[in-house]
Amino acid sequence: MANATEAGSGSRERSVSEELRRLAIQKKAEIERQRQALNLQREHILSQRTSNPARRAGLEAALAQIEGQIVALEMTI
């Protein structure tokens, strides 16, 4: 009987381990998608050309915010 209980416990542990690994992979994929989206936004802002000082200041502020989000996201990895 002890072997049957131990076998069931081992199976449960493997199942939990597999679930944790699956969740970790999903989390990593989500972080990568967020990083890609932020980098696209960053590239879009960098591609903007303007001689308007107010517009330029807004773009610089947006760029700083996005770069801050990228740094924060990379710290979660």
Q: What is the pLDDT of residues 5-54, one digit of tens each?
A: 555 567 778 888 999 999 999 999 999 999 999 999 999 999 999 999 99
Looking at the structure of the chain, the number of domains it has is 1
First-to-last C-alpha distance (Å) of the chain: 44
Q: State residue 9's pLDDT score.
A: 67
Q: State residue 68's pLDDT score.
A: 97
Q: State residue 1's pLDDT score.
A: 46
How many DSSP H helices and E strands does the chain contain?
Answer: 2, 0
Range of the domain at 59: 2-75
